[in-house]
Structure 1
Amino acid sequence: MFFIQTVWDFFQYQVLGMKWLNELIGDILTSMGLDLTGRIGGSLQFLIYDIIKILILLSVLIFIISYIQSYFPPERTKQILGRYKGITANSMGALLGTVTPFCSCSSIPLFIGFTNAGLPIGVTFSFLISSPLVDLGAFVLLMSIFGFKISLAYVIVGLVLAILGGSFIERLRMDDQVEQYIRAAGSIDIEIPDLTKRDRFLYAKEQMLNTVKKVYLYVFIGVGIGALIHNWIPAEVIQNILGRDNPFSVLIATAVGIPMYADIFGTLPIAEALFSKGVGLGTILSFMMAVTALSLPSVIMLRKAVKPKLLGVFVVIVTIGIIIIGYFFNAFSFLIV
C-alpha cells in the first residue's frame, strides 16, 4: 500500500503537478537575484510555472483525446446515441461531452450538428452543458492543482448538472423553440471513412495545434489574473468578498463569471490563486462553471440556434444548478479537501 501511495504521489505532484518545474524556475529566478517571497519574484515564478505547465499538459491531453475522438465522427456518434432513450440517452450525451476538448463556443456547432441529425433536444443540451465543463483534459489539469478527490467531485457534479438539465429541457417539449433553419436542414447519411493510424495521428496533431491556438491567450490572461490575486491582493480583501463567511460569495462568483469568456484552462490559474487565499471550494467551482458554461459570447452564439424562450430556460437551469453546486460544496468540502 505504501508503494502504491508513493507512486501515486509521484504521478500527481511530479508528473501532473510538475513540482520539479516550479522548483527549477524558482532556482533560476533566485540565481538572478530575485526574492521569491516578494511580489515581483513570486509573480514571475507563478506566471512562468503555470503557463509552461498548463500548455504542456494541455497539448499532450488534447492530442490523446483527439486521437481517441477520431474513432467517433459525428455519423458514428449519431448511430451510438440514437440507440438510447430517456435518462440513459441524456447520460450518454453528457458523457460524450467529456471527450470533446472544446470551449462553450466551439461546442455550439457540434450541438447544431447533433440537432440537425435528429437527436432529441434534451440529449443535445446534455452534451452542450457537459462539453465545456468536464472534458477529460480539464479533469487531469484540475487534478494537477487540487488533487484527485476534488477533481473527481467536480466531474461528477458537472455530469449530474448536464444530465438533469438536459432531461428537464426534454420534459418541457421545447423542440419548436429550435430555429426553423436548423430543424429544416435535416441530416445526410454518409459513409463513415476508415482512417489509418497516420490519418488519426495527423488529425490529433491538427486538433492539438488548433485548440492551443484558440486557448493560449486565455491561459496567459488567466495566469496573469491568478498571479495578481496570488501575490498582490491581500488575503483579507479576497476573504471579505469571496470568503466562507460571506453568504453571498457563490452568487457573486457566479455573477462575475458569466460575462467573462474563457475555457476551463484559462480559469484554472485563477481558481488556484483563489484556493490559496482561502476561498471556499464551492465558490471557486461556481466561478469556473459560470465562465465555461455560460460565457456571454457562447450565449450570443446559441441564440442563433434557439429561440429566446429556450435560451432563457437553458440559462436559468444552468445558473440555478451552478449556485446549488456552489453552496453544496461550501457546506461539505471538508469531506474531500
Structure 2
Amino acid sequence: MQPLSHLDSFVRTADAGSFSAAARQLGITPAAVSKNVARLEAGLGVRLFQRSTRRLTLTEGGERLLHEVRGALTTLTDAVNGIAEQDRQPAGTLKVSMGLAFGRTYVVPLLGEFLRRYPAVLPDWHFDNRQIDLIGEGFDAAIGGGIELTPGVVARELARIHIVAVAAPDYLAGRAVPRHPSALAAFDGIVRRSSPTGRVRAWVMRNARGEEAAADMRPRVIFSDPEAMCQAALMGLGIALLPMPFALPWLHSGGLVRVLPGWWADGGPLSLYYPSKKQLPARTRVFVDHVVAEFRAQDFARRVLGA
C-alpha cells in the first residue's frame, strides 16, 4: 500500500499544477513533493505526470488514479481533521466552486468577516461557470444553480432565481413599451445559449395573476454567459432576459430598467451544495452557516424575486 503522504503529494500537485505550489500547501519543500510523487510512480510502475520545463500534465494513468483516490483521500483527511478540530478552531483548505460574476459580486464580499472569525481556514475558491462533480473533484462546497444532486450531496436553498426582462433606457427611448411577453418578438433580443445543452434558452414568463406566456425575441446576439448579456444590454443592443442577481446592481444604478415589470420566469433554486458526511469538516460547516446567515441577513431571497 502506498503511504498517504505520497498520495497526498500527488493529488495536491495535480490540483495545483506544480510541485512548488503543492509544497506551499503541504508546508514542505518542492524537492520533497517531487520525491514523494517519484516514489509513488516507482511503487505503481506507472508514470503519473509528463514533465517539462514549463509545466506538469497528467498522463492517462495519472488521470485515472486522481479520479480513484481524490474522494477517498479527502474523506480520510477530513476524518483526521475532524478529530483534531474538536479542540481548536476550524482549519485547513476550503475548496469551493462558484460562478464567476455571482461569486465576485455576492460571495467574495463575505470573505473578510469569515476570515476574521476563522483565521486558520485557507479559502481555495474556484470561479467557473461549469457544472462540477462535487465529490469526485474534492470540493468542500459549491454555490450555484442546477448542480445535480448525486448520492452523497445535499443542498441548502439560498433563494429562487427569477429571470426578468431588462434593457438600457436609451434602447427603449422612442419605442412602444411592451405590455405582454408576446410583444417582445418585435424587439432585438440578447439571448442565452445553454452551456450544458448547446441550445438557446427559451423562457415562459408569468405574473402574479397566474398568467403565462412565452418570451420569444428576435435574436440580435447570442451569448453563453449572463454577465456578457448584461454588458450587451448596458450597451443598448437589445432586451435581455437576465437572472435577477446579475440585473440587480444595474437596476439600482439606473443603467438598466425593467421591461414588463410584474412578469418573470422561474430560473430554479440557487443553492449551497456540500457533501452529506457524518463528520463534515469544521471548515465546511462554518462556511455553510456563515453564507446562509449572511444571505438571510441581506434579505437576498426577497431581493431577487421578479414579482
TM-score, normalised via structure 2 length: 0.24
TM-score normalized by the length of structure 1? 0.23
Higher strand share: 2
Greater Rg by CA: 2
* Structure that is richer in helix per residue: 1
